[in-house]
C-alpha cells in the first residue's frame, strides 16, 4: 500500500459515501492531504473544474488495476460542490496526488 502516490493520466474517481463524520488528527482533510503529499492544494482535482479546492474529498478508484486503490479510500483536494456529490464518479485531472485516508497508517487516530 502506498500512503501517497500520483497518477500521470486522468483516472476515474468515485466520491465515497457518508464520510462527513470521519476525522483525523490534522485540522482538516485538505490539511491531511497537504501534509502527506507535501504539496499545497490549488484547484479541484476533478477534470475541467477550475474551482478552488477547499475540501479533502474521500474517493476510491473503481477502474483501478490495483485492487488496493479500488477498495481503499484516499484523499484528493476538491471544491465543495464536487465534494458534496457523494457516490458520484468523476475523472481526475492529470498528475493528481492521492493520500491514504487511513489515519492509523498516517497521522494517527
What is the contact surface with Zn ion in residues (CB under 5 A)?
24, 26, 32, 44, 46, 49, 51, 79, 82, 107
Burial of 99 (0-12, 13-18, 19+ CB in 10 A): buried
Of the pair 37, 67, the CB lying nearest Zn ion is at: 37
In the complex, the smallest distance separating the C-beta of residue 65 from Zn ion, rounded to whole angstroms, is: 25
Residue whose C-alpha cell reads 468523476 in the numeric block = 90
In the complex, the smallest distance separating the C-beta of residue 10 from Zn ion, rounded to whole angstroms, is: 14
Of the pair 64, 102, the CB lying nearest Zn ion is at: 102
The whole-angstrom separation of Cα 85 and Cα 28 is 19
DSSP 93: P
In the complex, the smallest distance separating the C-beta of residue 66 from Zn ion, rounded to whole angstroms, is: 23
Of the pair 32, 61, the CB lying nearest Zn ion is at: 32
Of the pair 36, 65, the CB lying nearest Zn ion is at: 36
The whole-angstrom separation of Cα 82 and Cα 92 is 11
Residue whose C-alpha cell reads 507535501 in the numeric block = 38
In the complex, the smallest distance separating the C-beta of residue 1 from Zn ion, rounded to whole angstroms, is: 16
Amino acid at each position: 500500500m502506498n500512503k501517497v502516490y500520483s497518477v500521470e493520466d486522468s483516472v476515474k474517481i468515485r466520491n465515497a459515501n457518508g464520510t462527513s463524520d470521519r476525522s483525523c488528527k490534522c485540522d482538516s482533510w485538505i490539511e491531511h492531504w497537504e501534509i502527506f503529499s507535501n504539496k499545497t492544494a490549488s484547484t479541484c482535482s476533478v477534470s475541467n473544474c477550475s474551482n478552488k479546492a477547499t475540501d479533502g474529498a474521500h474517493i476510491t478508484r473503481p477502474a483501478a488495476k490495483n485492487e488496493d486503490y479500488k477498495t481503499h479510500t484516499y484523499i484528493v483536494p476538491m471544491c465543495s460542490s464536487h465534494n458534496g456529490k457523494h457516490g458520484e464518479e468523476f475523472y481526475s485531472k492529470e498528475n493528481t496526488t492521492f493520500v491514504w485516508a487511513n489515519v492509523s497508517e498516517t497521522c494517527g487516530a
